[in-house]
Structure 1
Amino acid sequence: MSAEPTSAPPPAPAEPAGARPAADRGWFVRGPYAPVTEEVTAVDLPVTGTLPAGLDGRYLRNGPNPLGLDEPVEHWFLGPGMVHGVRLRDGRAEWYRNRWVRSGEVAAALGERWPGGPVHAGMDFAANTHVIAHAGRTLATVEAGALPYELTDELDTVGPCDFDGTLPGGYAAHTKLDRRTGDLHAVAYFWGWDHVQHVVVGPDGRVRRTTDVPVPDGPMMHDFALTERYVVLLDLPVTFSMDAAAAGSSLPYTWNPAHPARVGLLPRDGAGGDVRWVEVDPCWVFHTVNAFDGTAPDGGDRVVLDVCRYAGSYDMSGLSGRGPLTLDRWTLDPRTGTAGRQLLDDRPQEFPRVDERVVSRPHRYAYSAALGQVDPGTVRPDGGFGDDAFASALLQHDLARGTVAAHRFGRDAAVGEAVFVPAAPDAAEDDGYVLAFVHDPDRGATDLVVLAAQDLVGAPVARVHLPARVPLGFHGSWVPTEQG
C-alpha cells in the first residue's frame, strides 16, 4: 500500500494553538466523530479475508468535517462535507480517498479557486449529508434548499449542480431511485417557501417534473418515501423558527407543538392539491426505511411505511427526543385519513437502509445502526446522539419472520450506516453483502467491513484497512462500475 500523506492521521486531531478545548465545542468534534485534518490518497490497500470478485465499484460516504478545530461549529449538521471513498475491483481494494466538497468558502479556506456554478437563494454550502450517483454524475447532497455538488469519480469537486439548468429552485438531502423507470425522486424544502417541492430527475440527468405542495410553517422534511403510486411526505412538528434565526441559530428549526403531525400521500403524477393527508401522533422521523402500496381486506388502498420514530417532541438543537426511539410500521388509509401503528423493534436505532432494488415495493429485510446498547431499553431510550450514541453493532431485520440479527464489532468500535450490495443483479433480496465503515480502536483508523447478508452474525468476509480514520457521519452509496 502507498499513501499520500505517508502517515495516517492520528485517532483524534491535534488541538491547534489557541483552539478551544474539544470538550467545550460539543460531542460532534470528539472521539469517533472528531474531524480529520488531512486529505489522503492511498492505493493497494491491505485486506484481511477475501473481497468478493463481484464487488466492482465505489463505496462512498459523506459527512460533516470542520476545516479546523478552532472553527466555530455549533451543530453536528453544519460542518462542511467530506466524502470518503473506497474503490473495489477484481478482489482488490484499489484506492481510498477523502476530499472536502469545495464550496466557495471551503475553496477559499484551502487557498484554491472555487470552480463556480449556480447557487440557490445565496446558499452555497459544502454538501455534507449524502452522496449518490445518477445519470453519470456523482453528487454530494444536503437539505434545506442548497444545491448538490458534482464530484469526479475520484471525489474532486466539479461544482454545484442544477441538472443542466433544469432545476427551478433548491434540492434535498435524500433521494429515491425508481429502478424501473430510471427516475430519481426528491422532496426539497426551503425556509422562504410556502410549499415543499417534489422533484423528478429523469434518466438523462435533467429535471422532468416538479410539483409544489402547499404546507404551513416551513417544516423540515429531511427524508420521504416512495411507493409505486405515491410520494410519501412527512409533515411533522419541527418547523422553521424566525425567533431562533433572529437569535443567531445556524439551524433555526424547533419543535412546534401547534403544527399538526401528518403524512401526505401525493399521487406520483398528481398536482399539489391532490395530496391526501393522514394524521399521526406527534413525533419526529429523520429517516424512512421504505414504503409500498397495499390492499385492505375491504379492497381499499393502503400505504405501508416503515420508519425510525422518535415519540413525542424532539429537540433539534440537542438531537434528542423526549420519548423512545423505535422501529415502527405505519399503515396509512388515504380514504379515511387514519393511520395504524405497529412496533417492529424497540431497540434504539437509526440510519435504516434496504436493498435499493426494492425501494417503493414490499421489502423483507432492513439494516440499521444500533444506538446505545444492542439490547432493548438499556441506554439512551430517547435515541439521542452524543458520545455514547452509536453502538458497535449493525442490525438486520427479517420482517417476514419478525427476527433481528446483530453483528457486534467489539468493545469501543464504532459503526454508522450500512449499505446492502446484491451479489448479482437478479440475486435474492438477502443474497449479497453489507458494507460499512467501522472504526478500529486498536489501529486508531477505519476499516471498510464486508459482511455476508445471509450470515450477518458471522465473521466478516473481508476487512479493507484504511490508512486513516473516517469520522462517524451520515449517508453513503455503493456505486457499481456500470452506473458511474
Structure 2
Amino acid sequence: MTTSTPAPAATNPYLTGVLGPVAAEVEATDLRVTGELPAHLDGRYLRNGPNPAGPVDPARYHWFAGDAMVHGLALRDGRALWYRNRWVRTAAVARTLGEPRPPLDPGAGMLSVAPNTNVIEHAGQTLALVEGGGANYRLSEDLGTLGTCDFDGTLRGGYTAHPHRDPHTGELHAVSYSFARGTNVTYSVIDAAGRLRRSVDIPVHGFPMMHDFTLTEKYVVIYDLPVTFDPAGAIPDSVPRLVRPAARALISRLAGRVRVPGPIAARIAADTTALQSLPFAWNPDYPARVGVLPRDGEADDIRWFDVDPCFVFHPVNGFSEQRDGQEVLVLDVIRYERMFDRDRRGPSEGEARLDRWEINLSTGRVTGQTRDDRPQEFPRINESRTGRPHRFGYTVGIDGLFAGAADLRGSVFKQDFHTGGTVAARLEPGVAVGELCFVPTPGGTAEDDGVLMGFGWHRDRDEGRLLVLDAGTLETVATVHLPQRVPLGFHGNWCPRATAV
C-alpha cells in the first residue's frame, strides 16, 4: 500500500470533507454488494479526480490543480471483483512518493499539469486526460502508469479533458487549448484506431479557458467565454519569489498572443513542478460568444454569435433542426453567471443553472431560457444521442457542495426536455454522489433504458460506495461498498471488458 502525507485542510473546502483527498492507495477484492448488479455489467468503472500526493498550501490550492488519482472498480457476473485507486505517476508524483520517474515525453504536453480531469478508453488504451496543454497519460488495466500519450505520435502539445465520441463512427472529436498555441484553439478528430485524422486551428480573440464543447451531427460548437489566462497563477512554486514578477510579465506578453516555438514549449512542458493554483480568472472585458463550425469546415467557415457574459463548464448536448424552413441550433448547457472572480480556489461563485440556448442559424438570432434553476452540474446523457435530439439528461445537485456544507445531501435529477419535467432520485440520507455516467442496457430501445453509475460517499458512516441507479426510474438498483471514501472528483466512464486493455 502506497501512502502520502495528507494535505493540510485549514479553511480550504476542497481539502476536507467529501472533496478532501485520501492518503493511501488501497486494493480490495470481492466487495460486498447490496441489491443486485445487472448481470450484463462486465468491465471497469473508472473515475478521475484531484488528490494531492504531498503537502499543499491551503491558501493557494485550487481544486483543479491537485495530482491525478484514478479510482477503479471491476464488475462481472453480478459481482464486484476489485476496487483500487492509483495516483497517475507524473514526475512530480513519482518524486513525492520516492519512486523512479516513469518514461515521459514533454512533446506530449506540459508535464507540470496533472492529468486529473477525465479517464476514458479509446483504441484499446486507458487514458487519463486534462486540458490546457497538459499531457495525456496511458494507464494499464490495473491503473498503473505506462507513460504519456500522443496518439501514436500524431498529436503533440496536449489535448483536452472532454473529447466526445461520435456514436456512429467511434471517432473522438475534441477542442483543445494551450498557451503554446497562441490565440488559437484546435479542433481535432482522433480516428477509431487512435491516430489524428483531422486538425483545424481556430483563431479566438484571447486565451480563454474552454473546458468542454458541443458536438452535433453537423457542427462543432465552441464556447469562447470570459474566463481567461491570468499569469499570476502560472508561475511554478520552484521559481524564486524575487523572479516571479518578471516571469509573470514575460508570460503575460507571450501567452495567448503568440505561438510558442516547439523547442521552447517542450522546455516549459518539461518543468516537473506541479502548479497549485489555477492560471485563469474572470475577465469582464472579454466578449462572450459561441462559435459554430461545420464538422468538415476550415477556420474561415466558423460563425460567431454573441451571448450574455457567463461561463459554461459542461454542455449537456446539442443538435440542429429545421423550423419553418430555418435551421435552429439547440444547446442545453449548465450556465454560471461568472466564475473565478472573487474565489479563486474552485467553482464556488454563483449557482449553476440548466439553460437551453437556441441559435437561429438562418437569422443569427440567439435566445435562451432557464430550464431548471436548482444548482446542478456534471450533466450526462445516453451517449448514443450525442449530437442528436435527446429527451433525457441527468445531472447532480451541488447545492452547498463547494461551500463545504456539513448538511450536504446528494441529489440526482432526471431532466425531461420534452415535457419540461424533472424527477429527483430518493437517495439514502447522508449520501452524497458525484457524476453519474449512463450505461445502456444491451438491446434496449428506449433512450432511458439503462443504469446510472458513479461513486458516492455515506457521510454518517464515512463509507465510499458505487451507486447504480435505474436510469428510467432513478431507483437504486445496487450499491457496492468500498474500502475507503472516494473524493467527489471530476469525470468517470464505464469501460466494457471487450474494449479493455
Q: Which runs of 5+ in 1 are unaligned?
A: 373-379
Report the counterpart of residue 181 of structure 1 in structure 2: 169
Report the counterpart of residue 242 of structure 1 in structure 2: 231
Report the counterpart of residue 425 of structure 2 in structure 1: 407
Residue 424 in structure 1 maps to residue 442 in structure 2:
yes
> Could you tell me which of 59, 68, 85 is aligned with 2:72?
85
Identity %: 50
Report the counterpart of residue 65 of structure 1 in structure 2: 51
Q: Which residue type is aligned with residue 403 of structure 2?
A: G
> Could you tell me which of 144, 155, 159 is aligned with 2:132?
144
Q: Which residue type is aligned with residue 483 of structure 1?
A: T
Alignment of 1:83-122 (within 5 A): 83-120=70-107, 122=110
Residue 232 in structure 1 maps to residue 221 in structure 2:
yes
Contact 1:51 1:92 in 2 (8 A): yes
SS in 1 for 2:354: strand
Q: Which residue type is aligned with residue 379 of structure 2?
A: P
Q: TM-score, normalising length from structure 2?
A: 0.86
In 1, Cα distance between equivalents of 2:24 and 2:57: 15
In 1, Cα distance between equivalents of 2:192 and 2:62: 35
Q: Deviation digits for residues 288-342 of structure 1, max 9, x if unmatched? A: 1011121122x12221110000125652614457654310011112343331102
Report the counterpart of residue 304 of structure 2 in structure 1: 277
Residue 337 in structure 1 maps to residue 389 in structure 2:
no
Alignment of 1:164-313 (within 5 A): 164-192=152-180, 193-242=182-231, 245=234, 250-297=277-324, 299-312=325-338
Q: Which residue type is aligned with residue 99 of structure 2?
A: E
In 1, Cα distance between equivalents of 2:483 and 2:332: 37
Displacement of 1:203 in angstroms is 0.4
In 1, Cα distance between equivalents of 2:361 and 2:224: 15
Runs of 4+ in structure 1 off by over 4 angstroms are 69-73, 243-249, 320-324
- Larger mean CA deviation between 93-102 and 247-256 belongs to 247-256
> Could you tell me which of 454, 462, 467 is aligned with 2:472?
454
Q: Which runs of 5+ in 2 are unaligned?
A: 235-243, 249-275
Q: Which residue type is aligned with residue 230 of structure 1?
A: Y
- The 3 A distance-change label for structure 1 pair 476 and 325 is same
In 2, Cα distance between equivalents of 1:87 and 1:469: 17
Report the counterpart of residue 257 of structure 2 in structure 1: none
Report the counterpart of residue 376 of structure 1 in structure 2: none
Tell me the C-alpha RMSD between the 2 structures. Answer: 2.2
Q: Deviation digits for residues 137-180 of structure 1, max 9, x if unmatched? A: 11110010112111111111111100010003321111100021
In 2, Cα distance between equivalents of 1:338 and 1:408: 40
In 1, Cα distance between equivalents of 2:330 and 2:498: 32
SS in 2 for 1:307: strand
Contact 1:278 1:334 in 2 (8 A): no
In 2, Cα distance between equivalents of 1:81 and 1:257: 31
Displacement of 1:360 in angstroms is 0.8
Report the counterpart of residue 493 of structure 2 in structure 1: 477
Q: Deviation digits for residues 341-387 of structure 1, max 9, x if unmatched? A: 02211111011111111111111111111011xxxxxxx6xxx8231
SS in 2 for 1:44: strand
- The 3 A distance-change label for structure 1 pair 336 and 312 is farther
Contact 2:152 2:195 in 1 (8 A): yes
Residue 362 in structure 1 maps to residue 389 in structure 2:
yes
> Could you tell me which of 143, 162, 178 is aligned with 2:150?
162
Displacement of 1:207 in angstroms is 0.7
Q: Which residue type is aligned with residue 387 of structure 1?
A: G
In 1, Cα distance between equivalents of 2:232 and 2:35: 55
> Could you tell me which of 428, 451, 470 is aligned with 1:433?
451
In 2, Cα distance between equivalents of 1:142 and 1:391: 29
Contact 1:276 1:337 in 2 (8 A): no
Q: TM-score, normalising length from structure 1?
A: 0.89
Report the counterpart of residue 403 of structure 2 in structure 1: 386
